[in-house]
Structure 1
Amino acid sequence: MIDSTQTNNSMLQKQLIDLASSAGKPVNIAKQQEAENNRKDKQVEHLKQELIETSRALNQEMKRINTDINFSYNDDIRGLVVTVKEIDGNKVIREIPSKEAIELMKKMHDIVGLIFDKKG
């Protein structure tokens, strides 16, 4: 029992010495931010895969009920796009969001990237 108390005291002293020696030193925020960014990137990739799988399932269901509605993932807007075609599949009736809206979203992403670019 005395040995365990001495061991605990030694460990406590080492921790106190480590804390005291690191006092006043800057915290490595870059490593923390990198870890957070990696976690966010993994989460975004996981959500992207879920959207792709959901669009595949929806497309299979649409084929089963003989409708020409197509769901797809768009990397530019990081979301789903719905395309409605005529029965014969030759003419696109509607695309949601529209091509113009997709282009506008891409430009907005670029502008926001320029405004908040850390390199600039």
Structure 2
Amino acid sequence: MSKRTLVIGASENPARYSNKAIHALRRNQHEVVALAKRKGLVNDVAIETAFPEKEDIHTVTLYVGPQHQPEYYTNIIDLNPQRVIFNPGTENQEFAEKLEANGIEAEEACTLVLLSIGAY
């Protein structure tokens, strides 16, 4: 089953984990919405600079550090995804608590690992 995923901190750079995650998500038949400060393209996924409006997003996966996350708090909570994945280096207790208080699962995990073990 496809889980529409919003990748925040997407990058065209193949060495970046957000780029690897987009490729892995597409290989696993998941629809991807990508967001970054700069427009671009990864595989068949356009990187947008405007936060998506009222999209049906199942999972948000973060590739931006905690210092850059506050600007996304309200938008992510308003999207009401089932879960937000805090990839290594993005852990943020304050935001995790806000998500949980709004009924959104906050998971500290690696998107690439979850995909590779079939636990996504």
TM-score, normalised on structure 1?
A: 0.20
Larger radius of gyration: 1
Greater fraction helix: 1
Greater fraction strand: 2
TM-score, normalised on structure 2?
A: 0.20
Structure possessing the higher relative contact order (Cα contacts under 8 Å, 6 or more residues apart): 2
